[in-house]
Amino acid sequence: MQDKTTQATRQAQSSNQSHPVSADLIAVVIAVTDGEPRVLTIGQARALPSGPFELGHRSLQSGLRAWVERQTGHPLGYIEQLYTFADRDRTGDERAQISISYLGLTREEQVERSPTHGWRGWYDYFPWEDHRVGVPPILDDILMPRLLAWADEAEDPNRRHDRRQRVAYSFGLDDRDWNEELVLQRYELLYEAALVAEATRGRDNGSPPSIPGRPMVADHRRILATGIARLRTKIKYRPVVFELMPPAFTLLQLQRTVEALAGRLVHKQNFRRLIEQQDLVEETGETMSDTGGRPAKRFRFRQSVLAERAVAGTKLPVSRA
């Protein structure tokens, strides 16, 4: 049975012959390697794996798997639908275009090195999102002065106030806490203020130079921001982080993976207490000796957790240091 998005896409394609609709399938494939979150890219790291949905595809997911495997040689494991975008102004394409995105989780060692595709740290695209060693200098030195100047450019006082409130909420100003889940809201504000390269692509209007952060084609960086936000939210209530872990791991490796995704440090004792209380892992009986100290116990994810807590969910909150 076809999913609803597939049916809607095919109906749009058949009923808009004079204004054809193009539906692209885009994959945000994430891995964590040596404590760093990375995304699978193509085209000199400027694009996410993608391709048009074709009527020969059995479903959207089968089409996505086909495109990712064709472009990267990577077989997809865990995937979930992320979001559907329909905004020709953001893609630079005059056609009516739908971008149907998916989030995939995997391990990097499953992909061979290639000049046409590879892994890239996601903080290369969003350097302001990594707070593991404190507030990134880019925030105070570059982003905040430019964003606040943009807010003050509004002639209408109410609009000026609205802009400043949005900046404060999204970036944790005026005694607000930094919310790691607001990745997309922050990127959208930077886009609206014409501070990212994608917002000024193809223009020559004297806009200020874009801020540091690797740009991507079309609206792929916005889609990547959506994937990061979804994953940062989801690791707090579902055990998806274990999709990124090897079969056996130490609790420190698990902690570092959560911190890498969240862009925040967690309190070591509180984190381990939460893992133990929720009975998420079990010992393998093995230890790892190359930890620089005492041999560390190795654990594995308890697969039965998925059946035991299918309804209630499995809490894995990010505890503040």
What does the pLDDT average to over 106-127?
A: 81
Q: Could you give the number of structural domains in the chain?
A: 3
Given a cut of 70, is residue 290 above it in pLDDT? no
CATH code assigned at 116: 3.90.79.10
| 115 and 59 assigned to the same domain | yes
- Domain-located, residue 67: yes
- Domain-located, residue 319: no
| 169 and 246 assigned to the same domain | no
HSE of 112, CA atoms in CB hemisphere, 13 A:
4
Residue type, 137: P
Instruction: Tell me which of 41-55, 140-154, 182-196 is least confident.
Output: 41-55
Q: What is the dihedral of CA 111, 113, 115, 116, to 10 degrees?
A: 0
| 201 and 178 assigned to the same domain | yes
Higher pLDDT, 67 or 227: 227
Given a cut of 70, is residue 262 above it in pLDDT? yes
HSE of 177, CA atoms in CB hemisphere, 13 A:
5
| 141 and 120 assigned to the same domain | no
pLDDT at 205: 56
Higher pLDDT, 182 or 52: 182
Considering the entire predicted model, what is its pTM? 0.86
Q: What is the mean pLDDT of the chain?
A: 84
| Crossing angle (nearest 10°) for helices 268-277 and 251-262 | 110
Of the residues 180, 213, 246, the one at which a domain ends: 213
Instruction: Tell me which of 4-18, 83-97, 105-119, 252-266 is least confident.
Output: 4-18
d(CA 152, CA 33): 42
Rg (the chain; Cα; Å): 21
**Domain around 32:** 4-124
Of the residues 93, 124, 155, the one at which a domain ends: 124
CATH code assigned at 274: 1.10.10.10
Model confidence at 11, in pLDDT bands (50, 70, 90)? very low
d(CA 242, CA 245): 5
Task: Please give the backbone phi and psi of residue 188, each rounded to the nearest 5 degrees, phi first.
Answer: -65, -35
Highest mean pLDDT out of 115-119, 148-152, 284-288: 148-152
Of the candidates 128, 227, 235, 137, the one whose C-alpha atom is nearest the C-alpha of residue 186 is 128
Higher pLDDT, 3 or 168: 168
Extended strands (E) in the chain: 21-33, 36-42, 50-52, 78-85, 96-105, 117-121, 281-288, 296-301
Residue with tokens 């790291």: 45
| 19 and 54 assigned to the same domain | yes
- Residue pair 298/276 in contact by the 8 Å Cβ criterion: no
Q: Give the SS3 label for residue 134.
A: strand
Contacts made by residues 56-59, CB under 8 angstroms, sequence distance 24+: 59/2, 59/3, 59/6
d(CA 46, CA 214): 8
Higher pLDDT, 316 or 250: 250
| 101 and 189 assigned to the same domain | no
- Residue pair 251/245 in contact by the 8 Å Cβ criterion: no
Given a cut of 50, is residue 12 above it in pLDDT? no
| 181 and 262 assigned to the same domain | no
| 171 and 97 assigned to the same domain | no
- Domain-located, residue 231: no
Q: Tell me: the pLDDT tens digits for 311-320? A: 455 666 666 6
pLDDT at 107: 85
| 63 and 92 assigned to the same domain | yes
Model confidence at 208, in pLDDT bands (50, 70, 90)? low
Model confidence at 212, in pLDDT bands (50, 70, 90)? very high
What are the tokens at 196? 């990212």
What does the pLDDT average to over 278-289?
A: 89
- Domain-located, residue 47: yes
- Domain-located, residue 224: no
pLDDT at 92: 56
* Percent of the chain topping pLDDT 90: 55
What does the pLDDT average to over 297-303?
A: 92
- Domain-located, residue 17: yes
- Domain-located, residue 30: yes
Model confidence at 145, in pLDDT bands (50, 70, 90)? very high
- Domain-located, residue 13: yes
d(CA 6, CA 305): 32
What are the tokens at 142? 């570059």
pLDDT at 203: 65
pLDDT at 292: 62
d(CA 211, CA 138): 9
Q: Tell me: the pLDDT tens digits for 54-113? A: 766 677 788 888 878 888 887 778 889 998 887 666 555 555 578 889 999 988 765 556
